[in-house]
Structure 1
Amino acid sequence: MVFPRRGHASSLRAPTAGFPVSFPDWPTPHSVTVRLQYNPISLELLNRTPFGRRPSFRPDGMRMTHATGKYADFAGLRERAVELRRAGYSLRQIRDELKIYNNDILHRLVKGEPPPTWTKRPNAKDDLRQKARELRLQGWTYDQIEAELGCSRSSVSLWVRDLPKPEPRYTPEEQRALMQAGLARLRATQNEERKRAKESATQEVGDLTERELFLTGVALYWAEGAKSKPYDRRERAVFVNSDPGVIRVYLAWLDLLGVSRERLRFRVLIHESADVDAAHRYWADLADADASVFARPTLKKHNPKTVRKNTGDDYHGCLVVTVARSAELYNRIEGWWSGIVAHAQARLR
């Protein structure tokens, strides 16, 4: 036979017939509901303990919780703490007076009561803050206050953002005029800097040797000239560009290679809306050639929807320079370029 454990719910049941053993009755860890279900007993019996402790169950059968300790009278402690706070006590003084060493309880007791003025320590920049507010009230801007006090803009904003904004010094029209004048001065300064940089770079080039011109021409042709492809063999020197300086360098390079001007053919690529005759005269004068030797120009149809920037008297289209009987010349150009690439690749290793 299995005997019930002492304090088990089964020990509260009435002994069965023929069972001679009885056990004391006192509350057990199991829920009251379970005990009442099997053997309803009185509240007096539930609250009777062998150690004489206070009752643990309410009349409805639920376990009671007791507010014990020195913080049980919270309302009285708060009343006393608020009284001390209003009398000018600090938190440490209230703690020592009421013997409350729990910071959480201490702050809850004085919640909502402002600290005394004498407990507030001054901030490191209180003097700057006061000065910033004075300047703001005088109509100073953030930039002026920042420059005057030597502090950050974020600090200035934090100090004076609650103050009214000063009246603007200038009307919107005056502000735009000042801005345009400032931009004009800035652009003039930038233009002067660009001019000085270009002049200095031009002087750095110095005299161009024949070898330097030769290598320059090879690279220039390989960048802007027509090239033969494995799927489209075109072994002919054809060069196209709209920059007059590039055309001059290319013609000087051809002269260095001994290509006579009689072998050169010229053609203009230009929009049909431009002045074709003026473009012919411009390129003929630049190439030192007669305009009558120019081939029929290639005209690009005008598209009104396109917003073009290359218009006006400075627009002359592109000049196509073709060298007649230039298959050998083209192959040599390709070989020269391969040599340049090989030497450059060796320097990269």
Structure 2
Amino acid sequence: MRKDKEIAIKLRKQGKSYNEISKVLGIPKSTLSGWFKDLRFSNSIKIKLISETKEKWARNITNYNKKRAQAILEKAKKIQDIESKKIKNITDKELWLLGTALYWAEGTKRERWKVRFTNSDPDMIRFMMCYFRNICNIEEEKFRLTLQIHPNISEEEAKRYWRNVTKLPSSQFYKTLVAISKASKKKREPRRLPYGTLNISISDVNAVNRIKGWLKGLTQVV
């Protein structure tokens, strides 16, 4: 028997993997497979080899999933970057329609005296502030903000964050609500809303009726 084959078999019976033996002896795994096909092992070695094989497959699957997930993220980012560049600016009419559609989805429709819009997405809040200011012609002093946060969130930091988003002073914030809603209690992790949820309130009957009229118009054209 070849000396290297004898050593390889000895190592295999010790529970060494194909990769380990191949690296030590410089022998291809295909050759090792031929040498080992008729080998018999003790139960302890069989269990060890089976365990190592399972671990190897688990590592391979984990690595594959990580690479696949990364590839999916990179592809998604590339598509999003390309598509985002197609929107360079929007007209006042487009802002009007988009803002009204967002209010339809996220705003309060039952109020008779106040416009109310609530969300935790800073980009959406920023967009709606632009809509209220430039389309609804809301005067700055009519805006009132109410912040709802989890108990472990810094009120000062959250207010500073939303002041920057809305460009409104602290004097236009109502008392902060520190609570966990029944819907999210023990289900939603606080870090998903690091700055809480912001409610925009506007006491302007004319604005309420104008927006309701626009919503009615949207329902009649689709």
TM-score by length of 2: 0.70
1:337 CA displacement = 1.3
- Asked whether the 8 Å contact 1:268–1:298 carries over to 2, the reply is yes
Name whichever structure is richer in helix by fraction.
2
- Stretches of structure 1 lacking an aligned partner (at least 5 in a row): 1-136, 140-166, 345-349
The letter of the residue matching 2:189 is: K
1:33-182 matches, within 5 Å, as 171-182=53-64
Residue 11 of structure 2: aligned partner: none
Contact 2:106–2:119 (CA under 8 A) maintained in structure 1: yes
Q: Is the contact made by 1:272 and 1:302 (CA closer than 8 Å) also made in structure 2?
A: no
Q: Which runs of 4+ in 1 moved over 6 A?
A: 302-305
In the other structure, the counterpart of 1:249 is 127
Out of 265, 279, 289, the residue aligned to residue 144 of structure 2 is 265
Change (3 A) 1:202 1:311: same
Paired position in structure 2 for 1:238: 116
Pick from 65, 75, 89: which aligns with 1:207?
Answer: 89
Preserved CA contact (<8 Å) 1:227 1:235 = no
Corresponding residue pairs, total: 175
Give SS of 1:180's match.
helix
Q: Evaluate the alpha carbon distance shift between residue 291 and residue 221 of structure 1 in structure 2; reply closer, same or farther with a 3 A threshold.
A: same
Distance in 1, matches of 2:180 and 2:189, equals 16
CA distance in 1, matches of 2:73, 2:118: 31
CA distance, structure 2, for counterparts of residue 216 and residue 302 of structure 1: 29
Letter in 2 for 1:311: R
Q: Distance in 2 between matches of 1:299 and 1:172?
A: 49
> Where does the alignment leave 5 or more consecutive residues of structure 2 unmatched?
1-32, 36-48
The residue aligned with 2:100 is 218
Distance 1:299 1:309 in 2: 15
Q: Secondary structure at the match of 2:198?
A: strand
Rounded to whole Å, the distance in 1 between the matches of 2:91 and 2:152 is: 42
What amino acid does structure 2 have at the position aligned with 1:269? Q
Letter in 2 for 1:240: T
Within 1, Cα distance between the matches of 2:176 and 2:74?
A: 40
Counterpart residue type for residue 221 of structure 2 = H
- The one-letter code of the counterpart of 2:87 is V
Q: Is the 8 A contact 2:120 2:198 kept in 1?
A: yes
**Correspondence for 2:207 among 314, 320, 329:** 329
Bigger relative CO (Cα 8 Å, ≥ 6 apart): 2
Residue identity (%): 26
TM-score normalised to the size of structure 1?
0.46
